[in-house]
Amino acid sequence: MNAHKVLIVDDSSLARLMLRQIFGQHFPAWQIIEARNGAEALEQVRQEHPQLALLDYNMPDTNGLDLALELLQLEPDLPIHLVTANIQDVTRQRAEAAGIGFVCKPICRDSLAPLLAGISP
């Protein structure tokens, strides 16, 4: 059986490291793949077909919501969560309408707890 894969997309190497460490501690059997921007994320989804995506909202080449909508065109059933420090109500409403979840920054075990609780190991 193939390992589950999570895609972590963030232009900050520190943010990717934090997500990788926390996620890896809770789900050591999952393969963690990373992307620094939207273009890399699209390529990773095409190649790796992850079972979960965690996207930074603010990136140089795109925003997390636009990227999430593009990823859903490639993988309509892909669970996606935006990782953000703040988000406007209109953006939250658009994301929720598309089935996209949220994880609040700063990244820590507590902010990831609701997401982690909903994932089967």
What confidence tens digit (pLDDT) does each residue in 62-103 have? 999 999 999 999 999 999 999 887 678 888 888 888 899 888
Q: How many helices (H) and strands (E) does the chain have?
A: 5, 5
CATH architecture entry for 5-117: 3-Layer(aba) Sandwich (3.40)
Beta strands in the chain (DSSP E): 5-9, 31-35, 52-56, 80-84, 101-104
> What rounded mean pLDDT belongs to the chain?
89
Residue 51 has pLDDT above 60, yes or no: yes
The verdict on pTM exceeding 0.85 is yes
What confidence tens digit (pLDDT) does each residue in 101-120 have? 888 777 777 777 677 777 76
Residue 121 has pLDDT above 70, yes or no: no
For helices 64-74 and 89-97, angle between their N-to-C axes, nearest 10 degrees: 10
